[in-house]
Chains A and B, each alone.
Chain A
């Protein structure tokens, strides 16, 4: 499976899915015109990785603003991770935020609710 790279712009985050490293990174704001078009390849990539590999999968997020359809897509991805975790697959999320932007951490906590896999919310300067 190939790596997946989406250049970031004002309205969509930079996305990088690295098969070898078992890592998906998303960074920036997310209010694309068509969230399905943007995130479906990412969801497909995660599904493929979880189906074909037994190695751990990490999701590294540094997201600031998400519109409603991006929130939906994000929850679909996190649900996939939860399913994998329930099946014994090692998965984890690291959500990084700038220390002074405490509200981003609060939103990440809202996302984390209901999930039982490792989900770290980390401040950086």
Chain B
């Protein structure tokens, strides 16, 4: 038993003792003891209320913390999902960029990309001088391949030729499908002799490849080439293209399977 409880018990016993009845100190002690009891009750009550306020504040603090944690988790999730959507868009963008610059059948660069690179090359010529070569190649008698063996074989022939062309050109050269069975080749920083030697290898490679997919007995595939040297940055692009196109036309006129310099 605590000390103050022992004291309270002792005082209660003394006040209850009939031996002290009528004693003046007993009356005074009774009043004092009641006052003491009242004060104790008040203190306990105030303490209880204060404790409840403290508990409520603590709970409120905990709910703020829980809400903060929940919002933090939500934001982290939003950021995570948003990042994934951005990655998805970036990949789709890269894919679209690839598709917009490539020819679907052959995987080579397409006409749009070839024109872009041609303009860039002309601009470089304007800034730094130098030269480049432009080549237009056309598959000889391609219509007869389609007619004789069907379009599937024709498509495979184009894809094989494209593969042969892109394997033989250098990394910084451009090899594009210009249209139908026509291919455009751009050789930066190159002169006629250098390109003629590359074209020689190309023709050889195409002959080998064509033997791999054309039926036995079929004539080997050949290409006709128009080749032109470009040195004048002021020359309109169209004029350059017309010149190489004319050279190709002449190659066809000279019996095909040859290179004509225009």
Contact = CB atoms under 8 A, between A and B. Distances in A.
Nearest to B70: A79
Interface in A39-61: none
A114 B77 contact: yes
Interface stretch (B80-88, B142-150, B215-223): B80-88
Nearest to A111: B81
Contact of B78 (A68, A106, A107, A114): A68
A99 interface: no
A64 B82 CA distance: 13
A71 to B, nearest CB: 5
A65 B77 contact: no
Nearest to A72: B78
B71 to A, nearest CB: 11
Given A75-B74, A75-B77, A113-B77, A68 B82 contact: yes
B81 A107 contact: yes
Interface extent on B, as a size class? Answer: 10 to 19
Interface string B129-154: 00000000000000000000000000
Interface string A20-46: 000000000000000000000000000
B84 A107 contact: yes
Interface string A57-84: 0000000011110011001000100000
B77 A110 contact: yes
B69 to A, nearest CB: 13
Interface residues of A, number: 15
Contacts of A106: 84
A38 B18 CA distance: 88
B108 to A, nearest CB: 26
A65 B78 contact: no
Interface string B59-78: 00000000000000110011
B105 interface: no
Interface string A77-99: 00100000000000000000000
Contacts of A103: 84, 88
A67 B81 CA distance: 10
Nearest to A68: B82
A68 B85 CA distance: 9
B29 interface: no
B96 to A, nearest CB: 14
Given A65-B88, A65-B89, A110 B78 contact: no
A79 B74 CA distance: 10
Contacts of A65: 85, 88-89
B85 A66 contact: yes
B240 to A, nearest CB: 40
A75 B20 CA distance: 80
A112 to B, nearest CB: 11
A68 B76 CA distance: 12
A79 B78 CA distance: 13
A111 B226 CA distance: 59
Given A71-B78, A75-B74, 19 more contacts: A65-B85, A66-B81, A66-B85, A67-B82, A68-B78, A68-B82, A71-B81, A71-B82, A71-B85, A75-B77, A103-B84, A106-B84, A107-B84, A107-B85, A107-B88, A110-B80, A111-B81, A114-B73, A114-B77
9 contacts: A65-B88, A65-B89, A75-B77, A75-B78, A103-B84, A107-B88, A110-B84, A113-B77, A114-B73
Interface of A: 65-68, 71-72, 75, 79, 103, 106-107, 110-111, 113-114
Interface of B: 73-74, 77-78, 80-82, 84-85, 88-89
